[in-house]
Structure formats: C-alpha cells, structure tokens
Structure 1
Amino acid sequence: MLSKALPRPMQFSTVPLALLMGVVMATGAEAEDKAYPEILQTIEQQGIRILGEMQVPGGLRSFAAKAGAQPLAIYLTPDNQHVVVGTLVDAYGQDMAEDQLKKMVEQPLSEAAWTKLEAATWVQDGDPDAPRIVYTFTDPNCPYCNRFWLAARPWIESGKVQLRHVMVGVIRQDSPAKAAAILQAKSPEEALTENERKHADGGIHPLDRIDGDTAAKLDRNATLMTELGFGGTPAIVFKTEEGKIDTFAGMPSEAQMSTLLGPQ
C-alpha cells in the first residue's frame, strides 16, 4: 500500500494522531456492540470523519474517510488493532477503492440535515438577512474555531454571510460552562463576540452552574455533531454554489474560505 500524508489534525485531540505514514495502533481491545472497531472511533476523535465501509478485495476491511477536505481510504487489519491509510492497488496499478471513495466523499448531506441544523441551538453571527448562511459547530475553547471566526470577519462585516454557531462543549472541562455562559447571556451574540475577542486571554468566564434546559441543548448539539459525522470543532456545514449541502472539518485555508463563504 502507498501511504498518503494527512493534513494537520484539529484541536479536538485526546491522543496524538499517528496516521502520517499509514499505520496506527489501537489504544485498547476492540469494543463490542459498536458500529466500528475501537481504533476507528479513536481516529474519529482526531477529527477524521469516517463516511462508511467500502468493499475491496484482499481480505481487508476498507473505510472511506475525510480529513478536512482530503479524502482518505482507511484499511483495517484482521486483528482490528491497526489501520493503514493509503492506496490499495492491484497488479496493474489500479486503485481498488477510487470510485467508491469518490462517490462517498462527494455525497452531499440531505436537506433533512440542514433542517436539523436550523432547529438546533445556535448563536447568530452576522446580518440576519445575509444571502448566505453557514453553520459551524463551535467550542468556546477551540483555537481553530477562534481562527475561523477571525478569518470570517470580512464576509460577516460586509453583510454577505451569516454564521450560525452551534455551540458545543467538548474540548475542555470548562467548555460546557463557557458555552452555557454564551447561550444564557442577555445577548448571546455579544457574549460570543466577547469570547472570541478575548480568546487569547481565556475567553468568557464560565458559569458556576448550568441550568437544565441549557445543558439539554448542549447535549442535543453534541449529538447532532456526531450524527453529521464530525469528531471535532470547527465543523462547518454550508451550501455550494450548486445548492448541495457540504461539510468541512477543521480550519479552512485562505482559498477554502471562498469555497465555504463565497467570493469575498
């Protein structure tokens, strides 16, 4: 198999990402009664989105995945303790997963997913009448969320884009209390802005107590983030110029910002 290097992992990391040259060791025995073996769940915690299983020859299980905008083919060894990230080719050099991977990576989210995002608990960032709406799952402690917020200012300030921050608390112990401080503020929009502007100094002060309603909203947001296949923040959902619903995980590059938010 030929390895492919991965892009830099996102901040939502609980163990080092060791996928760069192909082989990863599991952190424990395979979990029972779970959709995927434990090693794949560990990979998802690093920001790698598992899209589904593919069918390939040779006795290996194969999974389509996405790291940011980069498609990946992940192959699981028979012991369920290692994966290889790369390209499986036959004697003629033909990629055994290319067509399946392309189809699965390019498959857009359904309108039902967009409807769920509309019904989620989010904080408006930008003109309510902006022609383009983009959803982003945001953790108050996430440095890449902060970088995305800063990078999006020209689109927000011009009135071209409205970001809807679906608040979650998943990175640090005080993340839920900070997210709650934003949601329970008199003006969640102003509280979000305060957190992002003061991010380098620790951001907004966490609440001492989260009320039950807010805790339930944060739980639902985190569940929705997982349902949409994300393992970390920022997790961005947008509509392409053709109207298809697409996703992006991590901090976009300067060129990718135009894809997500439109021409500046």
Structure 2
Amino acid sequence: MVRILLVFIVRLFLMFGIVVLLFACAKKTSSESDLQNNSAPTTAPSDIASAQSKMTKRKLWDRMGKQLTFIQEGSHGPIIYDFTDTNCPVCHLIYTTEARLINEGKLTVRYVPVAMIKPSSMPEAVAILQAKDPVGKLQDIEQQIGDSMKTGKPAHLPRAIVAIGLASQETIKLTKKIETNDDFLQKIGVNDLPDVIYMPKEGRLGLITGLISQKQFTALLPQLQ
C-alpha cells in the first residue's frame, strides 16, 4: 500500500512539472487568445514588421533559409518554420498537429531547434542534429516526449557532450548553429515558445506564438505560399 502511494505521489509531482513547463514555454497573449477562438492569425508582431521595413518579406524569408539551421519534414504544400525546444510540451503538441498535415502532403515544416528552456535543451538539440538521420531522430524523440506526457514518466532523451574541453569539433559547430537560431528569435523580440513563422500570399510574414489547433492550421493553409 505504501509503495502504491509513493508511486502515485511521484506521478503527481511529474504531472505538476509538465503543467509548469506548459506555462513556461507558452505565455498567452491577446493574439494567442484570438487563435483559441478559431480566428487564424494573418499579421506579424511589430518586431518582425520592423525587420521587414528594411527588406522585402521575400528577402527576409530567403535570409531565414540561409541563416537558420533546421530539419525539414515533408516536401509538399507550403513551407513554415517551427522553432522548437525538446523541453517544451506545447512544442510537442504543435508537432503532432503538423505531422498529420505533413503525412497528408499538405504542409512542409522546417523544424528549427532552439535551446531556451533548460540546460538540457542544448545537448538534446545537438544530439538530434548529429544523428545520421536527423528526421528519424526527431520523430523518435517526439514519440518519447509524447509517451512521457501520457505516462508521467520522464523521457530519457539522448544528449551530446557539450562541456567545454570535452565537446567534439562537430558538437561545437552545431552548438554555435543552435545559438544562431536562438539569436534570431531574440532579434525579432520573441521570447516564448513554440513559434511558427509563415509566408502568406498577401501581407507581411506571419508569426504564431503558442498553441494552434488542427482546425485553425487547416484554415490557415490556403492563405500560405
């Protein structure tokens, strides 16, 4: 009986930790509330708008493709950039929503790994990029994260050795690339996760911060290039 009680208490604490992370990686704003009310976002925050005042949205979009390090899933439908952290539960929920659209050939996602939430975020992100098959590794890790969220048991994700003096040259190179991804978000004034940037047929680049449903995502697709 005591053992069962202890297991229950441990699971309760784990679930509490997940709830805390949910709030940590997605602070709701007024625009996100609109998303929850099924109104698809069509405009970018002033920070992205400011960047676009100095260059066309196409030039900024092309710059993202050259500057950011990402893992692409899918080859059909419009392209979006999804900034994701392994320690962000909401990022996983976005991933599962996007996965269905990718499998249906309706969407191409460029997953941009960032390390913003925990110290373990960086070595976990590097481990994904170091894999021989980064797409397969990302899918495997997302599956582990999903299982962890269902069972309340912590996921034991692979981590690269990033300690100074111990990291390989490849690890150092990939760490700098992830830091560049982090810096990009900071330069456009974004501090919360998850973040999706998309290219609309009309208007400025769009930014979604926080959770978006399958229905909202589907409604947004016809507006994308």
- The bucket for the TM-score relative to the shorter chain is 0.5 to 0.7
What are the superposed Cα offsets for residues 170-226 of structure 1, whole Å, 9 maximum, x if unpaired? 111100000000011111111111111110252631123352101110110000011
Aligned pair 1:230/2:190, yes or no?
yes
Letter in 1 for 2:64: L
- Greater than 4 Å deviation, 4+ residue runs: 45-48, 102-109
Q: 1:180 to 1:154 in 2, by over 3 A?
A: same
Number of equivalences:
177
Distance 2:138 2:208 in 1: 21
Give runs of aligned pairs for residues 64-213 of structure 1, distance below 5 A: 67-68=31-32, 70=34, 104=46, 107=49, 109=52, 110-119=57-66, 120-127=68-75, 130-199=76-145, 200=148, 201-202=154-155, 204-209=157-162, 210=167, 211-213=171-173
Q: In the alignment, what sits opposite 2:15?
A: none
TM-score scaled by length of structure 2? 0.67
Structure 2 CA distance for aligned equivalents of residues 186 and 103 of structure 1: 37
Is the CA contact 2:22–2:88 (under 8 Å) kept in the aligned structure 1? yes
CA deviation vs aligned residue, 1:51-72 (integer Å, no higher than 9, x gap): xxxxxxxxxxxxxxx653659x
Offset at residue 150 of structure 1 (A): 0.5
Query: Residues 205 and 116 (structure 1 numbering): CA distance in 2 closer, same or farther, change over 3 Å?
Result: same
Q: Give how far 1:256 is off.
A: 2.3
CA contact (8 A) 1:196 1:203 kept: no
Alignment partners' CA distance in 2, 1:106 and 1:228 = 6
Q: Distance in 2 between matches of 1:105 and 1:116?
A: 16
TM-score normalised to the size of structure 1?
Answer: 0.58
Q: Deviations over 1:34-79 (max 9, x none)?
A: xxxxxxxxxxx9465xxxxxxxxxxxxxxxxx653659xxxxxxxx
Give the Å deviation of 1:115.
2.0
In structure 2, list runs of 5 or more residues that go unmatched. 1-19, 36-43, 149-153
CA change 1:256–1:179 in 2 (3 A) is same
8 Å Cα contact 1:237/1:246 also seen in 2: yes
- Letter in structure 2 aligned against 1:176: M
The answer to which structure has the higher strand fraction is: 1
**Larger helix share, 1 or 2:** 2
Corresponding residue for 2:175?
Answer: 215
CA RMSD of aligned residues (A): 3.3
Equivalent pair of 2:48/2:205 in contact (CA under 8 Å): no
